[in-house]
Chains A and B, each alone.
Chain A
Amino acid sequence: GDSVTQMEGPVTLSEEAFLTINCTYTATGYPSLFWYVQYPGEGLQLLLKATKADDKGSNKGFEATYRKETTSFHLEKGSVQVSDSAVYFCALTLTSGTYKYIFGTGTRLKVLA
């Protein structure tokens, strides 16, 4: 079945460090890929998305490239801030007329000043 695998957390970094959170997927068909972020006590906010192979999603310094050959959508940021501390979820949805998302388990990021 369709699934998303994320690297285990927590990830602890110092401010201004480089961030990579790995995400790979298994899907039948051609999924759209997403990164969502969840701050404490809040719902999920869309961080970025890519809807086809080789697309690069970017927002607030975060980037991820849809790699069909490696079925990956790794999240990167060149210089993290304390305010980036949150839980990050990789997700997919199949563009088949539904909005059923399949989420990874989430990766908690903690950035230290």
Chain B
Amino acid sequence: KAGVTQTPRYLIKTRGQQVTLSCSPISGHRSVSWYQQTPGQGLQFLFEYFSETQRNKGNFPGRFSGRQFSNSRSEMNVSTLELGDSALYLCASSLEGQGNTEAFFGQGTRLTVV
């Protein structure tokens, strides 16, 4: 069974540009969450999607947005990139159901803003 797949693995962008990251969850998983990991702030929750609806959102500016498609694949977008957006962006998928609280993480997309 394939794991969570994130593309691309590495990305270099210039300040002011926008970027789109992609996440394909494990087959059958309908919940997808996104996290930002930086040395200074650690792992911070960005947002969670379930059945194409945003179910929860973290404390990030509106430049960070996401969406989920009918096949559960998800994308996140960051507009007007800032140097501080340089981070590892992790996607996690989960199987919805009673007692299923485990999230499976992808390897992440390493975004560098220059």
Chain A residues engaging chain B, CB cutoff 8 angstroms: 32, 34, 36, 41-46, 49, 51, 89, 93, 95, 97-106
Given contacts A43-B105, A43-B106, A98-B56, A103 and B99 within 8 Å (CB-CB): no
Given contacts A51-B101, A98-B48, A106 and B56 within 8 Å (CB-CB): no
Q: Which chain A residues border B22 with CB–CB below 8 Å?
A: none
Alpha-carbon gap, A102 to B103, bound state (A): 12
Chain B residues engaging chain A, CB cutoff 8 angstroms: 4, 6, 31, 33, 35, 42-43, 45, 48, 55-56, 58, 90, 92, 94, 99, 101-108
Known: A99-B94, A103-B35, A106-B43. 16 other contacts (CB 8 A): A36-B105, A42-B107, A42-B108, A45-B105, A46-B102, A49-B101, A51-B99, A89-B43, A98-B55, A100-B33, A100-B45, A101-B33, A101-B103, A103-B43, A105-B42, A106-B42
Contact A99 B92 (CB under 8 A): yes
Q: Which chain A residues border B42 with CB–CB below 8 Å?
A: 103-106
3 tightest Cβ-Cβ pairs between the two chains A and B: A103-B43, A43-B105, A44-B105
B18 to chain A, nearest CB (A): 24
Contact B103 A99 (CB under 8 A): yes
Please list 5 pairs of residues, one from A and one from B, whose beta carbons are closer than 8 Å in the complex, sorted by A's number: A46-B103, A93-B101, A97-B55, A99-B94, A99-B101
**A contacts with B: majority SS:** loop
Q: Which chain B residues border A46 with CB–CB below 8 Å?
A: 102-104
**B contacts with A: majority SS:** strand
Q: Which chain A residues border B48 with CB–CB below 8 Å?
A: 98-100
Q: Of B42, B58, B101, which is in contact with the most chain A CB atoms at under 10 Å from its CB?
A: B101
Q: Which chain A residues border B108 with CB–CB below 8 Å?
A: 42-43
Q: Which chain B residues border A43 with CB–CB below 8 Å?
A: 4, 6, 90, 105-108
